Amino acid sequence: MSQEPRSVAVQLETSLMSSAVIAYKSEGSGHVEISGNGNSYQQTFSRLPHRTPMDMQFENIGFTASLGCRKGNKKILHELNGRFLPRQLIAIMGPSGAGKSTLLDILSGYRITNVSGSVMLNGEERDLNSFRRLSCYITQEDRLQSLLTVYENMKIAADLKLGEHVSTKEKTDIIDEILVTLRLSDHGNTRAERLSGGQRKRLSIALELIANPLFLFLDEPTTGLDSSSCTQCVSLLKLLARQGRTIVCTIHQPSASLFRMFDHVYVLSQGLCLYQGSTQQLVPYLQQLQLPCPKYHNPADYVIELACEEHGKEKVERMVEETDNGRNLNWFKSLDPITASTTAVEPMIRLADPKPSTKKDSRRGLQETSQWNQLKVLLRRGYIKSKRDKTLTRLRIVVNIVVALMLGALFYGEGNEGSRVLDNYNLLFACLIHNMMTPMMITILTFPSEMSVLQKEHFNRWYSLKSYYISITIVDIPVTVVSCFLFVILVYLISGQPTDMTRFNMFFVISLYIVYVAMSFGLLIGALFNVVNGTFLGPTISVPVMMFAGFGVNLQDMPSYLKWGTHISYLRYGLEGYISAIYGYGREILDCVELYCHYKFPDTFLHEIAMTGDQFWKDVIALSIILVALRILTYFLLRWKLRAVR
């Protein structure tokens, strides 16, 4: 989109009790100078939106939330109406529980279930898929890849959000300009986990600016920031709005100076609209309703007090009636910072889209790059994370080595001793439990945090779920194989298991299968539940899996009505595979240092535990089926979860 050069100055009152002034000077090139309270700095951002600014209007927006089983439903939003003009920085305000975040979710397209009403762009019904290509949603929590540096986060985002036709130099120039504009260039080599709250918020915005969206939706962007960081954040949003974007934020209770920086405010109370219009017109609006704002009182604080019914419920009803629940547009009249003239809201016009959607776009999906490119970028990101992750990589390897040394020392040299077969049997089961619990619990503890990042990035069209799922499966292979191999070789050699390469390979294969099945099980739990519930459910569900393994109770002694459990317990196939590797397939007579060794002949032991010792390949096939089934089930549950939250 091209813009004629223009320069305007807009003075905003920063405090009702002081004379400090913030001045904005804007030009078509994207240059903005912000000064106030003796401080001054310049921002230059040349990336203007490629599409014509769009007018958003919504009518009769309602939302009903379920309160749970047998508790009924609750109406959150009551047929709201409103209009958001382009080039505006818009605040949705209201007390806690007023429906601010819900309205923002609906307008951004993040929430689509149990929603009534319509959202229009330039007078036409919004197509959600097309709109998602024009917009981005920045959550209240800064969901960042904490192990990546600022520049690495930006590089990954650029490779995913910019088309493959964009050269590396162009991407670098775009990243550098965004980082300079958002004052993050000095922190390019700093990991996201070490950034301050304001820096993390700016990085969250920077990541989405790479795609140059026309609409930005931010859920409480100033929460948790100090006054200076809040001012910087809102000043940045003001700059982006002046370039032709529509920026909508929820904000709880801004200071007077912060409130005056917004162009438009939409006030909610219990899902009803109390006011919509210019921030400068709020005080006259209240005056007309004979609800004058006290002298030297922050209008934002006062309107929140009214919304909380601190001054009486009838005053809220009066405000809702005056605004006609958002239909009244009379209070849009204000000093327009673009034209520097007093204008009222204009009739809605229809503007042509210079880049209409094509059939090729619909076939490709919502993402900007191909599945193959997404996979390559996600694999690169996964490699960096694995290299730096102390829990999933270093600690995991160390734990496997330490546990292997402990078990090897405890059961030293028992693998070929006929008098200690039962002790060796205990060792095999201990190895089984370790290979199950360690990867499962690590996944349960770490994946829920990754899930929140996935929800944000997937909604903002960074990548498809398929590419993400394949990448996390591949990335974990090296660490899993190495840690499992170190554990197996140490335990196997120290405990004196048979020095037969074939038997060692069988033992290692079964161990690796158990690790992968357990990880898949942990991934399934981590995708559905939070850390607390997952930490409880993981070990709890593992108990019956161990019970059906055939260790405490022989498979032949299992009650008939419980035998079904042995067919779905992956530990049963793991234990049977271990026994086949160590004692099956014609194992020679064991050494015996005592006068009598009952289990000197391995077949005697196999008969006692009701195993034949020749089921290895059947166990491998069964574990393969369980692994594939769990992975497929987890993928569809993840897809359901991503849709369910909306």
- Judged on CB neighbours under 10 Å (0-12, 13-18, 19+), 228 is exposed
User: Coil, strand, or helix at residue 119?
Assistant: strand
Contact 58, 232 (CB under 8 A): no
- Judged on CB neighbours under 10 Å (0-12, 13-18, 19+), 535 is middle
Non-local CB neighbours of 288 within 8 Å, separated by 6+ positions: none
Contact 34, 24 (CB under 8 A): yes
User: Coil, strand, or helix at residue 217?
Assistant: strand
In a domain, 206, yes or no: yes
In a domain, 23, yes or no: no
User: What is the Cα–Cα distance from 392 to 479, expressed in whole angstroms?
Assistant: 8
User: What is the Cα–Cα distance from 405 to 424, expressed in whole angstroms?
Assistant: 15
One domain for residues 317 and 418: no
Percentage of the chain modeled with pLDDT above 90: 43
Could you list the residue range(s) of the whole structural domain that residue 279 is in? Answer: 85-113+122-349
In a domain, 11, yes or no: no
One domain for residues 338 and 444: no
CA atoms within 13 A on the CB side of 308: 11
User: What is the Cα–Cα distance from 117 to 119, expressed in whole angstroms?
Assistant: 7
Beta strand residue intervals within 182-229, DSSP E: 215-219
Which DSSP state fits 339? Answer: T
User: Coil, strand, or helix at residue 26?
Assistant: strand
Residues β-bridged to residue 26: 8, 32
Smallest Cα–Cα separation from 121: which of 352, 384, 442? 352
Give the 3-state secondary structure of 501-569. Answer: HHHHHHHHHHHHHHHHHHHHHHHHHHHHCCHHHHHHHHHHHHHHHHHCCCCCCCHHHCCHHHCHHHHHC
Give the 3-state secondary structure of 370-437. Answer: CHHHHHHHHHHHHHHHHHHCHHHHHHHHHHHHHHHHHHHHHCCCCCCEHHHHHHHHHHHHHHHHHHHH
Last residue of a domain, one of 317, 349, 381: 349
Smallest Cα–Cα separation from 100: which of 232, 256, 242, 272? 272
Task: Tell me the torsion sign for CA atoms 134, 139, 140, 146.
Answer: negative
Phi-psi sector, 36: left (phi>0), alpha (psi -120 to 50), beta: left
One domain for residues 256 and 138: yes
Strand-strand pairing, 21-26 and 8-13: antiparallel
Q: What is the CATH number of the domain that holds 325?
A: 3.40.50.300
Which DSSP state fits 223? Answer: T
Residue 29 has a pLDDT of 42
One domain for residues 210 and 89: yes
Smallest Cα–Cα separation from 441: which of 539, 365, 549? 539
One domain for residues 333 and 398: no
Last residue of a domain, one of 284, 317, 349: 349
Read off the pLDDT of residues 19-48 as tens digits, 9 standing for 90 and up: 333 444 444 444 444 444 433 334 556 666
In a domain, 276, yes or no: yes
One domain for residues 298 and 420: no
Q: Tokens at residue 530, please?
A: 């939070």
One domain for residues 345 and 417: no
Residue 50 has a pLDDT of 67
One domain for residues 236 and 166: yes
Report DSSP letters for 608-628, one per residue: HTT--S--HHHHHHHHHHHHH
Q: What are phi and psi of 118, to 5 degrees?
A: -140, 150
> Measured in whole angstroms, how far is the alpha carbon of residue 574 from the centre of its chain?
34
Q: What are phi and psi of 45, to 5 degrees?
A: -145, 105
One domain for residues 330 and 386: no
Residue 332 has a pLDDT of 84
In a domain, 555, yes or no: yes
Contact 431, 508 (CB under 8 A): no
Find the length of the chain: 646
Beta strand residue intervals within 99-211, DSSP E: 115-121, 124-125, 135-138
User: What is the Cα–Cα distance from 83 to 90, expressed in whole angstroms?
Assistant: 10
- Residue 617: how many other CB atoms lie within 10 Å: 11
Q: Give the mean pLDDT of the chain.
A: 83
Smallest Cα–Cα separation from 502: which of 421, 576, 584? 584
One domain for residues 139 and 256: yes
One domain for residues 473 and 620: yes
One domain for residues 249 and 376: no
> Measured in whole angstroms, how far is the alpha carbon of residue 34 from the centre of its chain?
33
Q: Which long-range contacts (C-beta less than 8 Å, at least 24 apart) are formed by 191-196?
A: 191/146, 191/147, 191/148, 191/149, 192/144, 192/145, 192/146, 192/147, 192/148, 192/149, 192/150, 192/153, 193/146, 193/147, 195/150, 196/229
Q: Tokens at residue 436, please?
A: 């199950």
In a domain, 355, yes or no: no
Number of structural domains in the chain: 2
Last residue of a domain, one of 315, 349, 383: 349
In a domain, 495, yes or no: yes
Report DSSP letters for 462-478, one per residue: S--HHHHHHHHHHHTHH
User: What is the Cα–Cα distance from 90 to 375, expressed in whole angstroms?
Assistant: 37
In a domain, 273, yes or no: yes
CA atoms within 13 A on the CB side of 260: 17
Q: Which residues of the chain have pLDDT under 70?
A: 1-50, 69, 333-365, 595
Tell me the residue type at 553: V
List the alpha helices (DSSP H) in 40-135. 100-108, 128-134
Q: What are phi and psi of 542, to 5 degrees?
A: -70, -25
Non-local CB neighbours of 2 within 8 Å, separated by 6+ positions: none
